[in-house]
Amino acid sequence: MTPLSEQIDDLLRHVSTTLELIAKARSGLEREPQNPKWRATSRRKAAVVFAALLAPAFERAFPDTPTTYSKGPDEPGSWAKFFVEVAHVALGWRPADLEGVLEEGRIFRIEHE
């Protein structure tokens, strides 16, 4: 294989993995409870699991570690920015407590490795 075809194969694997994660996240939200309080809890749990599942794809795609580190309250780090944008596309909303969701996602990932 040529270096270009290897890069294309890697990109296709990343896209495939991301699409699988989006499908898993959306299927979980389709069974979302109707009570508003339960709905908020269900969405948060979905975001935590989504963060845990998306972190390995972020690590493979970028030379960075998924951390909750930010440059300041108004300037999230690269993992937070990436997660917010992908979550918005995949889940249709942005988590209110981003730092908490990412930290819980990190813990979830460690516990389930």
Kindly report, residue by residue over 69-85, the tens digit of the pLDDT.
Answer: 666 667 788 899 889 88
The pLDDT tens digits of the residues spanning 2-31 come to 676 777 677 667 767 777 777 766 665 555
Assess contact for 106 and 51: CB atoms under 8 A.
yes
> Does residue 31 sit in helix, strand or coil?
coil
> Does residue 65 sit in helix, strand or coil?
coil
pLDDT of residue 75: 77
Assess contact for 55 and 66: CB atoms under 8 A.
yes
pLDDT of residue 94: 84
Question: What residues does each domain of the chain span?
Answer: 3-111
Beta bridge mates, 70: 76
Rounded Cα gap, residues 1 and 9, in angstroms? 10
Whole-structure pTM value? 0.68
CA distances from 23 to 7, 71, 89 (A): 24, 32, 12
The pLDDT tens digits of the residues spanning 41-99 come to 888 888 898 899 889 888 888 888 888 766 666 778 889 988 988 888 888 888 888 88
Smallest CA-to-CA distance from 101 within 55, 56, 32, 51 is with 51
pLDDT band at 104; cut points 50, 70, 90: very high
Assess contact for 85 and 93: CB atoms under 8 A.
no
